[in-house]
Structures are given as C-alpha cells and as structure tokens.
Amino acid sequence: MKIQSKAISCKPFIHSKKRSNTLQCYLMLSTQIIGFLVLTVYPICWAAKFSWFYYDGAICNTRFVGWENFIKIFTEDAMYWKTWLTTLQFALVKLPIELPLAMYLAVLLNKKLKGKGFFRAVFYLPNIISIAIVGLIFSNIFDYFGVINSLLVKFHIVKQEVDWFINKGTAMAVLVCGSIWCSFGINILYFLAALKNVPEELYDCAYLDGASKRTIFFKITLPMMAPVMQTIILLSVNGTLQINEYILVMTNGAPGGKTFTVMSYLVSKFVPGFAQTSVNIGYGCALSLVTSALMALIAFAYMKLSKKLSEIY
C-alpha cells in the first residue's frame, strides 16, 4: 500500500520536471525563435504582400495593382533579365577556370611536400578578407593609373594603358580575376579534404599495373571525388550567383550598368543608400521574390542533373 502511494506521487513529479525542461529549452531558444518570426517570417510575408502594391514609402501613394508588378518583370524589364545574363556569364567564365585550378593545386598539395601547411594557409588567405575591401584593392591595382597598367606598359605587353572599366568585356575580366583570387583557396581546402577520402591502396594498385599519372587522375582520383564534387560545385555556383557587394564596390555596374549581377542590381535599384530616394518598393519586392524563386530553381535543377555524380561510387 505504501509503495503504491509512492508510485502515484512520483508521476506528477516526473511530469512537472518534463514540463519545466520544455520550458527551459524554449527559454534558451527564445531569442532565435522570436528572431525567426520577426526577422525572417514577417519580412517574407511583407514582401509577398507588397509585391501586389505600388509602394514608394509614402502611404498616400500606396495602391493595389494586382499582377501588374509581375507582368512588368516578364514583359518590360529587359534590364533585369540582362543582369541575369551577366550573372550566368560571370559563372560560366569564373567556375571553369577556378575549379580546375583549385583541383590542380589541391592535387599538388596532396603530395608529400615541405611547407604544405604554409602554402595552404596562404592560398586560403584572400578568403578571410572583407569582400568590399577586395573590391577596393582590385579597383586600385586595375586603376587606369594603377600597377597592372604600368607594368603592362613597362614590359611592352600593351602600347598604351588599358581603361579596364570602359567596356563590358575587360570589366568582366577584371571582376572575374578578383573573384577567383578571392575564392580559389576555399575550393583547394574542399578538394584536399575530398582527396583524403581516396584510399591510398587504389593508387598503389594502379601504379603497379603501370597506369600513367594522367590515367590515375582521370580513372581513379576524379571518379572517387565525384560525390564531393557535386557539393563543391553547388557551393561555388551558389556563391557566384549571390555575388553582390563585390560588384557594387568595384564597378558599381560600370560601364552603364552592364556588369551588374542580379543581386547587386537589386541592391543598387531598391536599397536605401544605393538607390534613388523614391522607388517603387512594391516592384522591388516582386523582383526579389522572382529572383529567389529562380535561384532555388537553379539549385534544384542542378541537384537533379548532377545526381549521377553522387552515384559514381
């Protein structure tokens, strides 16, 4: 009888303990949950709402316009789609240079070398620098009166200084250079981590069978790395599509807005401090929604198309 009563009195105790635990968990997460609701969910709803409005910050001008903003994006706004084209061009020039370069350096660094850690640390160094500062540094060295021009003239590679930012081709080339400089190091680290996962015995076997270095690389190393490659490429593609401050600082779209990528274009067009004072924020909301939907679509399509990569081994 005594034992039974004890068991009964224990139950609410455990219950209240559980409840108090739950309470404490939510208490510890409270700032983040509030932040999520107020700073993530609310702004998304806000943007979704105002994408149906004409809204320039003044309440009296605000009016409901229905699908108008979205229709305008797809029928009138050629500039916006040009920035998408620029973004894709940027990615298509940058990634085919950066990824093989990083892969090659990673393969070299994976050998038994002295000073391996030092090289790795220096290659990663540009990655920790503020992207805005990278923009400044590169616009300084590629300035008309900058070091690159004066060296090119000095060694008679060009006759006269090149004005890098006067046409789209050279401006893009400079942007791509700076961007590769900034991020090839991180890819070396990723590739090095992936190379560690390739078992040593595989190399030894192939070597004993008389395979050449090239064959070993293409038939063993590359396929073994394929699953990690899928992630590395996804991260690089995503990083390139999101390029933003870098363009704003370095060219601010020069010449004539031709080097704007999507994200930097949206900032330069709609964000206070970069845009003109009176803009149709409602239209900006619609553009932002369409942009993030397209970004998600690209990531999704990439995951579908690259599924084979992760299934090679």
Residue 174 as a binder of another protein (CB under 8 A): the answer is: no
Decide whether 95 or 281 has the Cβ nearer to another protein: 281
Give the nearest distance from C-beta 133 to another protein in angstroms.
Answer: 6
Q: Residue 220 gets which letter from DSSP?
A: I
Which residue in 7, 39, 58, 59 binds another protein (CB under 8 A)? 39
Give the nearest distance from C-beta 271 to another protein in angstroms.
Answer: 5
User: How many whole angstroms separate alpha carbon 290 and alpha carbon 296?
Assistant: 10
Residue 40 as a binder of another protein (CB under 8 A): the answer is: yes
Residue 305 as a binder of another protein (CB under 8 A): the answer is: no
Contact window for another protein (CB under 8 A) among 60-68, 70-78, 91-99, 280-288: 280-288
Decide whether 95 or 131 has the Cβ nearer to another protein: 131
User: How many whole angstroms separate alpha carbon 216 and alpha carbon 201?
Assistant: 12
Residue 121 as a binder of another protein (CB under 8 A): the answer is: yes
Residues 99-118 within binding reach of another protein (CB under 8 A): 105, 108-109, 111-113
Location of structure tokens 């409005």: 53
In this structure, what token pair is assigned to residue 217?
A: 């690389």
CA-to-CA dists, residue 255 to 161, 169, 180, 233, angstroms: 17, 10, 21, 30
Residue 90 as a binder of another protein (CB under 8 A): the answer is: no
Residue 14 as a binder of another protein (CB under 8 A): the answer is: no
Residue 81 as a binder of another protein (CB under 8 A): the answer is: no
Give the nearest distance from C-beta 197 to another protein in angstroms.
Answer: 10
Cβ atoms of 248 and 268 closer than 8 Å: yes
In this structure, what token pair is assigned to residue 313?
A: 């081994």
Location of structure tokens 């149906």: 52
Give the nearest distance from C-beta 134 to another protein in angstroms.
Answer: 8
Decide whether 70 or 181 has the Cβ nearer to another protein: 181
Residue 169 as a binder of another protein (CB under 8 A): the answer is: no
Question: Among 39, 215, 175, which Cα is nearest to 94's?
Answer: 175
With CB under 8 A as the rule, give the number of residues binding another protein: 92
User: How many whole angstroms separate alpha carbon 238 and alpha carbon 306?
Assistant: 14
Residue 292 as a binder of another protein (CB under 8 A): the answer is: yes
Residue 306 as a binder of another protein (CB under 8 A): the answer is: no
Residue 150 as a binder of another protein (CB under 8 A): the answer is: yes
For the chain, the C-alpha Rg in angstroms (whole number) is: 27
Residue 244 as a binder of another protein (CB under 8 A): the answer is: yes
Give the nearest distance from C-beta 243 to another protein in angstroms.
Answer: 12
- Would you give the distance in Å from CA 177 to the centre of its chain? 16
Cβ atoms of 171 and 259 closer than 8 Å: yes
- CB-facing half-sphere around the CA of 214: CA atoms within 13 A: 0
User: How many whole angstroms separate alpha carbon 103 and alpha carbon 222?
Assistant: 10
